[in-house]
Structure 1
Amino acid sequence: MLDKATLEQRLVTVEKAVSDLQHKFENKPTSENWLEKLIGSISDEAAFQEALEYGRAFRQADKQE
């Protein structure tokens, strides 16, 4: 079981993170088009780039057969 001081510190950390997220989304311009919200949302993620490379390799391998 966590001691009280550790638990309180973790709670402070979570509250700060929630507050930061709320401010981030409050200041973000809203778009009515769901596609505009989605476009580019994960394009800078390494896993997304890796998936694109696998897709390209798969399509190229399929063309060579």
Structure 2
Amino acid sequence: MLDETTLEQRLVTLERAVADLQGKSQSQSTSENWLEKLIGSVSDQAAFIKSLEYGRAFRQADQPVVQGNQEL
């Protein structure tokens, strides 16, 4: 079992961590539009289009193959 001094130290550490996290979350403005931050973030359009193609192929590969009225 932990002694009282160790528990106090751990509690102080946790309180500091919580205070830091609260400060970080409050410093970020929630009124900013997330879409405006995202627009223009892709610098290589060809790579972006290729990644979309990979995602589409991956999703389609997961679909059952249908021939006639039967799934294979």
TM-score normalised by the chain length of structure 1: 0.50
Between Structure 1 and Structure 2, which shows a larger proportion of helix residues? 1
TM-score normalised by the chain length of structure 2: 0.46
Q: Considering only CA atoms, is the larger Rg found in Structure 1 or Structure 2?
A: 2
Between Structure 1 and Structure 2, which shows a larger proportion of strand residues? 2
